[in-house]
């Protein structure tokens, strides 16, 4: 996984090297400040980190401070079957592709997967998810454009129960988060899902486009306010030099980063490990001790 993450953070690491070409045994707080800002860590968080640093900063000190900023995922295991996940996010964030990658990941774990096309706002969204279902070779529940998305969610969960499915992934509309009708639609999907199965959806995952950097924070906060997000997947990490924004996103929203997308292939969705992430960043700054 470490190699995959290094690949995903290549542009961010290159940016750090532009600021700090020579690796160090120790660095000054001012050097750390410049490096973190260049990696697109939010300024307020950078100031918070720097204010607590000693005059000579080594790798261990900075690593501890950075790890402290991450929100860990919940440790308790949900044994619900089917385990229903609602996938949220604006258009263009990579939502549909990420659903396909998650389905592929679950299939590799020998789990039965079912998709639900509850983004009925756009015919293209339904067609795209159907195409991915065929590629990954998993069944899908869908209807025509304009139909009630909450009804699709209900039918998907009912079908999953009848088929003894392990994991359900339900796509949702990605219209702008400022629109009231989207908020009402998502809230209805959550309510109706719980009628189909108590406790569903068991996890609400927000997909964030990594190329947006810190500008995605307000967008994410809006979704969290609407339905209560349980975790985040950051996509397109390999296409941005703003990899430091992951720190800001997790810290500001108090939500765990579950996976990161580091490429276009099915294998390029990897579980996020804060320790590996921080080590990858620090490898660009410090000589290994």
pLDDT tens digit string along 35-73? 999 999 999 999 999 999 999 999 999 999 999 999 888
Q: Are strands 203-209 and 269-271 parallel, antiparallel or unpaired?
A: unpaired
Ramachandran area for residue 233 (φ above 0: left; ψ -120 to 50: alpha; else beta): beta
Domain 2-71+279-283 shares a fold with domain 83-273: no
Give the tens place of pLDDT for each residue, 226-250.
999 999 999 999 999 999 999 999 9
Rounded CA gap, 265 and 278, in Å? 24
Band (198; pLDDT cuts 50, 70, 90): very high
> Which stretches within the chain are classed as H helix?
2-8, 10-19, 29-38, 43-51, 59-67, 95-108, 123-136, 149-163, 180-196, 216-227, 245-253, 274-283
CA separation (Å) from 279 to 64, 88, 144, 276, 288?
A: 11, 29, 47, 5, 10
**Do the Cβ atoms of 5 and 262 come closer than 8 Å?**
yes
Rounded CA gap, 60 and 65, in Å? 9
Domain spanning 83-273: which CATH class is it, in words? alpha beta
- State residue 174's pLDDT score: 83
In terms of residues, how long is the chain?
289
Task: Tell me which fold the domain 2-71+279-283 belongs to.
Answer: 1.20.120
The pair of three-digit structure tokens given for residue 121, joined into one six-digit string: 């706002």
Determine if the peptide bond prior to 288 is cis (ω within 30°).
Answer: no
Give the tens place of pLDDT for each residue, 112-167.
999 999 999 888 999 999 999 999 999 999 999 989 999 999 999 999 999 999 99
Give the tens place of pLDDT for each residue, 73-84.
876 667 899 999
- Which has the closest alpha carbon to 82: 198, 165, 204? 165
Q: Are strands 140-141 and 167-171 parallel, antiparallel or unpaired?
A: unpaired
**Do the Cβ atoms of 171 and 117 come closer than 8 Å?**
yes
178 versus 72: which is more confidently predicted? 72
Band (265; pLDDT cuts 50, 70, 90): very high
Annotated domain spans of the chain = 2-71+279-283, 83-273
């Amino acid at each position: 996984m470490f190699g995959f993450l290094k690949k995903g953070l290549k542009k961010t690491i290159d940016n750090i090297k532009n600021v700090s070409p020579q690796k160090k045994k120790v660095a000054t707080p001012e050097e750390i400040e410049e490096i973190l800002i260049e990696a697109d860590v939010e300024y307020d968080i950078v100031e918070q980190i720097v204010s607590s640093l000693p005059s000579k900063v080594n790798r261990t000190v900075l690593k501890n401070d950075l790890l402290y900023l991450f929100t860990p995922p919940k440790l308790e295991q949900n044994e619900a079957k089917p385990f229903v996940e609602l996938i949220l996010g604006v258009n263009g964030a990579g939502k549909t592709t990420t659903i396909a990658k998650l389905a592929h990941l679950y299939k590799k774990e020998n789990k039965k997967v079912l998709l639900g096309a509850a983004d009925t706002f756009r015919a293209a969204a339904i067609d795209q998810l159907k195409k991915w279902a065929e590629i990954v070779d998993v069944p899908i529940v869908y209807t025509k454009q304009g139909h009630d998305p909450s009804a699709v969610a209900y039918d998907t969960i009912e079908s999953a129960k009848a088929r003894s499915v392990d994991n359900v992934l339900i796509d949702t509309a990605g219209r702008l988060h400022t629109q009231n009708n989207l908020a009402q639609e998502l809230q209805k999907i959550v309510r109706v899902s719980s009628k189909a199965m108590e406790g569903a959806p068991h996890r609400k995952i927000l997909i964030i486009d990594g190329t947006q950097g810190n500008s995605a924070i307000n967008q994410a906060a809006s979704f969290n306010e609407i339905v209560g997000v349980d975790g985040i997947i950051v996509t397109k990490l390999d296409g941005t030099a703003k990899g430091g924004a992951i720190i800001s996103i997790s810290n500001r929203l108090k939500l765990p980063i579950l996976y990161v997308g580091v490429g276009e292939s099915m294998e390029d969705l990897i579980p996020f490990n804060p320790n590996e992430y921080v080590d990858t960043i620090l490898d660009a700054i410090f000589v290994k001790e």
